[in-house]
């Protein structure tokens, strides 16, 4: 039987199948992502309990009930607003430059941060009306991944590219499915259920920037631990998917150098992915370098689990040298 030649369609099918395999592999990066995802909700609940205590020191339940009574009694009174974000801070010290000597000096200063508990709430302490979708994409990745028109990894995949319609299309689909765009009427269960867990009735105008509330340094530091944990989830998601993308780039380069389907399938098998030609054909050229499948598989494995021992680094170098000697 004659060997089946590879074409772009077959290469794309193999790459798509490999992407699924790469995401399912148990790697250090993947495990760190899952650990960060599992721990963030309890961490946020703990932070919310603390924020609730801080806010209620300033807006007591009794005061809120009195304000609600007046609001219900008089049509021209509108003073109760539900909120999920707060400007909290304390008096501390910050470094400044002396006006005369230009030397650094410590001066009394208010240390504050904007803590936003919504699913699209930012982690950088800014209150500029912008949303941060990366946390929601990381936390609800499985839900988004199961939707044909969504892609929770889109911002990572496009991180080194200019914003473009391809990215915008998936961002809009992600946000619509999670319910973070289109206003309150467009909230699906994901955004609504998350955000409804973190609401307080307060006295004042609608925007949280109108309320600067005091807390202790210890309370502030505890809330910042939660903010760091949110950032860690985003970073772990990024690190994991970037490791997958690095592998996929290498895989595509390797497959591009093969002429026949059986060569690509051998490379896949040596790398721990068993694909038969019938599977590829059933599912809906020339390379600059020809890789030996076994050596290519070793190089691919080296791209995972970036925390390497000295012995692992030596083994990687040997694999690379073997590859160079066969060219």
Does the structure show a pLDDT above 90 at 281? no
Out of 131-140, 177-186, 246-255, 278-287, which region has the weakest mean confidence (pLDDT)?
278-287
Question: Are 188 and 43 members of one domain?
Answer: yes
Residue 2 domain-assigned (yes or no): no
On whether both 247 and 185 belong to a single domain, the answer is: no
> Does residue 165 have a pLDDT over 70?
yes
Q: What's the confidence (pLDDT) of residue 156?
A: 96
Q: Given a cut of 50, is residue 188 above it in pLDDT?
A: yes
Q: Residue 12: inside a domain, yes or no?
A: yes
Decide which of 178, 208, 237 is a domain's last residue: 237
pLDDT tens sequence across 45-83: 999 999 999 999 999 999 999 999 999 999 888 888 888
Q: Across-strand partners of 112?
A: 89
Task: Give the mean model confidence (pLDDT) for residues 206-212.
Answer: 64
Query: Does residue 122 form part of some domain?
Result: yes
**In a shared domain, residues 205 and 227:** yes
pLDDT of amino acid 295: 58
Do 37 and 65 have their domain in common?
yes
- Eight-state DSSP code of residue 258: -
Q: Is the pLDDT at 182 greater than 70, yes or no? A: no
Query: Which residues, including other chains, have CB under 8 Å from residue 279's CB and lie 6 or more apart?
Result: 17
Domain termination site, one of 237, 263, 289: 237
Average pLDDT, integer, range 251-269 = 95
Whether residue 135 sits in one domain with residue 48: yes
Choice among 216-220, 277-281, 320-324 with the minimum mean pLDDT: 320-324
Phi-psi sector, 305: left (phi>0), alpha (psi -120 to 50), beta? left
Share of the chain above pLDDT 90, in %: 61
Residue 226 lies in a domain: yes
Residues 216 and 262 in one domain: no
For residue 290, what pLDDT is reported?
44
Please check whether residues 254 and 222 belong to one and the same domain.
no
pLDDT band at 212 (very low <50, low <70, confident <90, very high): confident
Residue 169 lies in a domain: yes
Domain's final residue, options 217, 237, 257? 237
Clarify whether residues 100 and 23 are in a common domain.
no
Q: Which residue has the higher pLDDT, 231 or 82?
A: 231
Q: pLDDT digits over 130-157, tens only?
A: 578 999 999 999 999 988 899 999 999 9
Q: Verify that 23 and 48 share a domain, yes or no.
A: no
Domain span including residue 275: 8-27+242-326
Q: Say whether both 158 and 303 belong to one domain.
A: no
Residue with tokens 């909230």: 187
Q: Which of 79, 91, 87, 92 is nearest to 51 (CA)?
A: 87
Number of domains in the chain: 2
The 10s digit of each residue's pLDDT in 83-134 is 899 999 999 998 888 888 888 899 999 999 999 999 999 888 766 555 789 9
Say whether both 120 and 214 belong to one domain.
Answer: yes
Q: What is the pLDDT of residue 261?
A: 93
Residue 257: pLDDT over 90: yes
The reply to whether 1 falls in a domain is no
Shared-domain flag, residues 123 and 17: no
Q: What pLDDT does 323 receive?
A: 52
Buried-exposed string 156-190: b where 16+ CB fall within 10 A, e elsewhere: bbbeeeeeeeebeebbebbbebbbbbeeeeebeeb
**What is the value of pTM for the model shown?**
0.80
Whether 135 maps to a domain, the answer reads yes
Per-residue confidence (pLDDT) for residue 146, from 0 to 100: 83
Give a yes or no: residue 3 inside a domain.
no
Kindly write down the DSSP assignment for every residue of 22-60, as one continuous string: HHHS--HHHHHHHHHHHHHHHHHHHHHHHHHHHHHHHS-
């Amino acid at each position: 039987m004659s060997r089946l030649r590879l074409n772009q369609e077959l290469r794309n099918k193999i790459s798509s199948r490999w992407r699924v395999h790469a995401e399912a592999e148990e790697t250090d990066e993947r495990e760190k992502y899952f650990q960060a995802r599992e721990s963030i909700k309890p961490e946020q609940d703990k932070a919310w309990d603390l924020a609730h205590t801080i806010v209620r020191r300033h807006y007591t339940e009794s005061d809120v009930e009195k304000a609600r009574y007046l609001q219900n009694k008089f049509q021209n009174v509108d003073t109760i607003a539900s909120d999920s974000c707060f400007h909290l801070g304390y008096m501390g010290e910050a470094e400044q430059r002396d006006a005369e000597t230009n030397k650094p000096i410590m001066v009394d200063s208010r240390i504050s941060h904007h803590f936003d508990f919504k699913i699209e709430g930012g982690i950088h302490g800014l209150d500029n009306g912008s949303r941060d979708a990366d946390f929601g994409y990381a936390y609800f990745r499985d839900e988004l991944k199961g939707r044909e028109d969504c892609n929770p990894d889109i911002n990572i995949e496009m991180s080194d590219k200019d914003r473009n319609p391809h990215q915008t299309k998936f961002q809009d689909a992600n946000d619509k499915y999670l319910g973070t765009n289109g206003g309150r009427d467009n909230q699906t269960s994901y955004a609504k259920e998350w955000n409804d867990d973190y609401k307080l009735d307060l006295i004042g105008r609608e925007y949280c920037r109108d309320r600067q509330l005091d807390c202790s340094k210890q309370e502030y530091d505890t809330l910042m631990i939660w903010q760091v944990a949110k950032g860690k989830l985003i970073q772990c998601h990024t690190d994991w998917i970037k490791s997958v993308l690095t592998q996929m780039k290498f895989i595509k380069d390797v497959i591009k150098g093969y002429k026949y389907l059986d060569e690509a399938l051998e490379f896949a098998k040596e790398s721990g992915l068993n694909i038969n030609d019938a599977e590829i054909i059933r599912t809906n050229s020339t390379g600059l370098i020809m890789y030996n499948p076994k050596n290519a598989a070793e190089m691919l494995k080296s791209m995972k689990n970036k925390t390497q021992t000295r012995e692992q680094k030596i083994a990687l170098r040997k694999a690379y040298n073997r590859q160079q000697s066969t060219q």
